Structure 1
Amino acid sequence: MTIEFSKKLRATETAIPGVVVYDLPVHGDNRGWFKENWQREKMLALGLPDFTPVQNNISFNEKAGTTRGIHAEPWDKYVAVATGRIFGAWVDLREGPSFGAVFSTELDASQAIFIPRGVGNAFQTLEDNTAYTYLVNDHWSADAQGQYTFLNLADETANIAWPIPLGNAELSDKDKSHPRLPDVTPMPGKKTLVLGADGQLGKALRKAYAGDASVEFAGRADFDLTVDASYTGRNWKNYTSIINAAAYTAVDTAETQEGRAAAWALNVTAVTRLARVATDYRVTLVHVSSDYVFDGTQALHSETEPFTPLGVYGQTKAAGDAVVGVVPRHYLVRTSWVIGEGNNFVRTMANLAGRGVRPSVVNDQIGRLSFTEDIAAGIRHLVDSGATYGTYNLSNDGAPQSWADIAADVYEISGADRDAVTGVDTGTYFAGKEAAPRPLNSALDLGKIKASGFAPADAGLRLREYLGR
């Protein structure tokens, strides 16, 4: 078979999701030929995942008819023929609807193919002295072999049309003994780990991902972010995303000596360790931020506004945000005035309304409520849709209100007199109290999250639903 010179670099999708064949430009003359077997910038422009290869392997095969596979490995691989010609066959052995899908084709030195983790790879040489190269994104180890999934080359369901019948081909004894498709245990997909799963947002994330076996939930008892063993005792190669819903949120206590240390430990030091894990293992890190990273002097806070935190809590959140910002694959979800399952402002006001209390509530801090069901839904949207990595503001929608306005709404919805709520300014409310400084304006610009395809619900609607009205 003669190699076709000077083809254009081209990608062709196959019947197996994620498996893509590439035609490579090969330049030749009377001396031989030259090709760019792997060129990251050009490949990414064609849509190849940035799978960050770390090891290059070569399989040399002396005789035509040498047949190897079908092996599904726990890493992605980019494979190509260095010299010679092969018949390649690939079978999807991943959990999911495409399990058992088959694709086969002939490849020469002018072609390559990308094979995602869990897709079985096999080839048969059609010429003597054929070399087959693997560019992979994990280091081979003896331990990793225990994570392989195998399929018999002669499987009747796959029904691969080997050019050289297997009875006349060169096979290893191991490949002859691999199971048929009905006996194959599919390779499980990578998982998402939700940290802080027992908090207000964590509980909402449990509901958002209910029934999804690919999501693990870890409360503090399962994953203490301040303990070394939490980071070293887990095989991070099996995860695709970490959603960090854990944080130190005691705003006033953070101003004390003990609280300051605890806030920095959880909001900065622990986040730094998660960022290192995410970077080292190519994991997407989802981290939840706060309006407290701003001083509240802007009428509407955008994702690009510089940090201007007023107190210790805001300073630790800003520092954590800066760390997360350097993780290659990250979603920084900035929210405000969180309301979920557990003690919160709305529940407190509803209880006071039920008891006939006439409270004084701050009327010069402006913002929007963020209900945890919408934060969780927004996070899932970003991850599932593959939205562009970066920072996204996420609160509920509607006109910004003061805490006093919201308290009056709670009273009215609860059947009490909204005029029972008296508004006072922040200085008066906190006079004589040990309290952290608060931003006076916490309203977030929601344009970016909406442009990604997610529309946060109106805060007033969610408030009525929350109160059962």
Structure 2
Amino acid sequence: MPRTLAVHQTRIPGLLVVDLPVLGDARGWFKENWHREKMIQLGLPDFTPVQNNISFNASAGSTRGMHAEPWDKLVSLASGRIFGAWVDLRQGPGFGSSFALELDTDQAVFVPRGVANGYQALAPDTVYSYLVNEHWTPEARDSYTYLNLADPTIAIPWPISLLQAEVSDADREHPSLCDVTPMAPRSIVVVGANGQLGRALMAMLPDAVGLTRPDFDLSDAETLDTVRWGDVGLIVNAAAYTAVDTAETEEGRRICWATNVSGLRALVERARAHRIPFVHISSDYVFDGTTEVHSEEEPISPLGVYGQTKAAGEALVSTLPQHWIVRTSWLIGDGSNFIRTMARLADTGVSPQVVNDQFGRLTFAEDLASGVMHLATHAPPGTYHLSNAGPVRSWAQIASLVFQFRGRPASDVLPITTAEFTAGSRAAPRPRYSTLSLAKTITSGFSPPCADERLAEYLSTIPLPGRNDAAQSG
């Protein structure tokens, strides 16, 4: 009886054995060696192979390995029989664990990135086939991790002694397990690592790869090819052209579209080619602000060039299978921002005019960074809204809170309408209401802290005039 299609987990996490139905008659046999829909339903990762390789082994005893490659693969046989061996060489607690199996044409093995693969032909004319999800290049060998076939600590029970087996000189010289450097996990890449959110992400993810201008510029697609995308496990795009007023000028409009759309498109295509999960930071500016609270289901309706480019960017990112679009508002982090400006004005005796007819919530960069990583690791792909929680306030009300914290009366902030504030200037249209519904994000398991509490904590880090950090903290 032929096997029933099934997927089995082995003692090595992610290393899967696949039972394949082989249907035969007097003419020979037939099998579905790779059936994406059926196998994914049974638990095989959707690893999207891009290359098929075949290794012919003329005689029994031909032995190859052990190679841990920087991609996933599905190995199977077109004819013959093998003894297959696999050793986990990934960084982590499973390092050095092994699994072995005699493989015929009615089974396949899914080998995840970083698990060393080796085999020995047990019959002449064995044809070994494997699908991989990265194109092989000569330079790819530099990313392999090798293990000696005869390592005594693993003690693979090769059916045919390696003394009699046909083994290449290179394979005989691979290092013992004690000398193997484990294959590191795929990296997280933060694009726009020097922005307010980017800095918070890099502080939280010290092993992440931070990409910043001028070495990496989204408006210059050629710089994208300086990154080894095959080694990347997650992209967080925190880069954007955000000069909303300048974007309304002829030159600014071109730069805004080049960065937020054309450059993003090139980045999305790299993610698509290498199957990289993608987090994209978007904005409340994709809405016209006529609704008091915006949900993820609200149709987008941007008012100005910046909002239009963010909306177009969302459409690009949404074409990726694994994407998280995170809309946020009124970001406050390390660097120049509204809160620091208001604190400086309060400290220097200025009474500023601040708009009182735009409403929303602040988003502190550290909380946004934490929420972004929560969504990328715990929530299904999709679109999410993320700001700090708490009361909805106008910019003028927030400025008044800053003034009070700095010892100035709230009345020293002079409320003004947006129309009055922008009269005579070429200002971009802004949403009247920027408040984002947090229900979907909270349901995912992340509850943003209150913005008022975070504001007080943030202001406490900004020294008062004439007092140093030590005196203030005491």
- TM-score over 0.5 for the pair: yes
Match of 1:90 among 86, 91, 98: 86
* 1:217-366 correspondence to structure 2 within 5 Å: 217-366=210-359
How much has 1:55 moved relative to structure 2?
1.6
Q: Which residue of 2 aligns with 1:463?
A: 455
Q: Which residue of 1 aligns with 2:141?
A: 145
Aligned partner of 1:162: which letter?
W
How much has 1:111 moved relative to structure 2?
1.4
Secondary structure of the corresponding residue to residue 166 of structure 1: coil
Q: Quick one: distance in 2 between partners of 1:343 and 1:148?
A: 44
Q: Which residue of 2 aligns with 1:24?
A: 20
CA displacement, residues 50-73 of structure 1 (integer Å, 9 cap, x when unaligned): 111112222233333332211122
How much has 1:160 moved relative to structure 2?
1.2
Secondary structure of the corresponding residue to residue 322 of structure 1: helix
Match of 2:113 among 107, 114, 117: 117
Report which stretch shifted further, 54-63 or 242-251. Answer: 54-63
Indicate yes or no: 2:452 matched with 1:452: no
CA displacement, residues 90-141 of structure 1 (integer Å, 9 cap, x when unaligned): 0112233322221112222221111012211011233333322211112233
Q: Quick one: distance in 2 between partners of 1:141 and 1:433?
A: 55
Report runs of 4+ in structure 1 exceeding 6 Å deviation: none
Secondary structure of the corresponding residue to residue 407 of structure 1: helix
Secondary structure of the corresponding residue to residue 8 of structure 2: strand
Q: Quick one: distance in 2 between partners of 1:20 and 1:268?
A: 40
CA displacement, residues 140-160 of structure 1 (integer Å, 9 cap, x when unaligned): 333323332221111011111
Q: Quick one: distance in 1 between partners of 2:264 and 2:327?
A: 15
Q: Quick one: distance in 2 between partners of 1:420 and 1:141?
A: 66
Q: Quick one: distance in 1 between partners of 2:254 and 2:134?
A: 38
Q: Quick one: distance in 2 between partners of 1:29 and 1:397?
A: 67
Q: Quick one: distance in 1 between partners of 2:314 and 2:145?
A: 39
Match of 2:415 among 414, 417, 423: 423
Q: Which residue of 1 aligns with 2:469?
A: none
Q: Which residue of 2 aligns with 1:413?
A: 405
Q: Would the alpha carbon gap of residues 178 and 32 (structure 1) be closer, same or farther in structure 2, given more than 3 Å must change?
A: same
Q: Quick one: distance in 2 between partners of 1:205 and 1:409?
A: 27
* 1:27-176 correspondence to structure 2 within 5 Å: 27-29=23-25, 31-176=27-172
How much has 1:243 moved relative to structure 2?
1.9
How much has 1:380 moved relative to structure 2?
1.8
CA displacement, residues 334-390 of structure 1 (integer Å, 9 cap, x when unaligned): 1101111111111122222223433332222111111111111122223333x3222
Match of 1:442 among 429, 434, 440: 434
Match of 1:180 among 166, 176, 183: 176
- Percent of aligned positions that are identical: 57
Indicate yes or no: 2:375 matched with 1:379: no
> What is the alpha-carbon root mean square deviation over aligned residues?
2.0
Q: Quick one: distance in 2 between partners of 1:233 and 1:425?
A: 47
Report which stretch shifted further, 417-426 or 401-410. Answer: 417-426
Using structure 1 for the length normalisation, give the TM-score. Answer: 0.92
Report which stretch shifted further, 86-95 or 139-148. Answer: 139-148
Aligned partner of 1:347: which letter?
R
Aligned partner of 1:209: which letter?
L
Q: Is the 8 A contact 2:134 2:274 kept in 1?
A: no
Secondary structure of the corresponding residue to residue 457 of structure 2: helix
Q: Quick one: distance in 1 between partners of 2:266 and 2:58?
A: 48
CA displacement, residues 12-56 of structure 1 (integer Å, 9 cap, x when unaligned): 212222211122233344554332211101111122221111122
CA displacement, residues 220-256 of structure 1 (integer Å, 9 cap, x when unaligned): 1321222343123333222222222221111112222
Q: Which residue of 1 aligns with 2:425?
A: 433
How much has 1:294 moved relative to structure 2?
0.7
Secondary structure of the corresponding residue to residue 247 of structure 2: helix
Indicate yes or no: 2:385 matched with 1:393: yes
Secondary structure of the corresponding residue to residue 190 of structure 2: strand
How much has 1:265 moved relative to structure 2?
1.8
How much has 1:456 moved relative to structure 2?
1.4
Aligned partner of 2:308: which letter?
Q
Q: Quick one: distance in 2 between partners of 1:166 and 1:141?
A: 29
Q: Quick one: distance in 2 between partners of 1:268 and 1:84?
A: 52
How much has 1:308 moved relative to structure 2?
1.0
Q: Quick one: distance in 2 between partners of 1:139 and 1:433?
A: 53
Q: Which runs of 5+ in 2 are unaligned?
A: 462-474
Q: Which runs of 5+ in 1 are unaligned?
A: none
Q: Quick one: distance in 1 between partners of 2:194 and 2:436?
A: 26
CA displacement, residues 200-237 of structure 1 (integer Å, 9 cap, x when unaligned): 11111111112x2xx11122132122234312333322
Q: Quick one: distance in 2 between partners of 1:77 and 1:327?
A: 22
Q: Quick one: distance in 2 between partners of 1:235 and 1:356?
A: 52
Q: Number of aligned pairs?
A: 461
Secondary structure of the corresponding residue to residue 146 of structure 1: helix
Q: Quick one: distance in 2 between partners of 1:438 and 1:207?
A: 31
Q: Quick one: distance in 2 between partners of 1:129 and 1:270?
A: 50
Q: Quick one: distance in 1 between partners of 2:202 and 2:215?
A: 15
Aligned partner of 2:282: which letter?
S
Q: Quick one: distance in 2 between partners of 1:455 and 1:243?
A: 20
Q: Quick one: distance in 2 between partners of 1:197 and 1:155?
A: 43
Q: Is the 8 A contact 2:221 2:263 kept in 1?
A: no
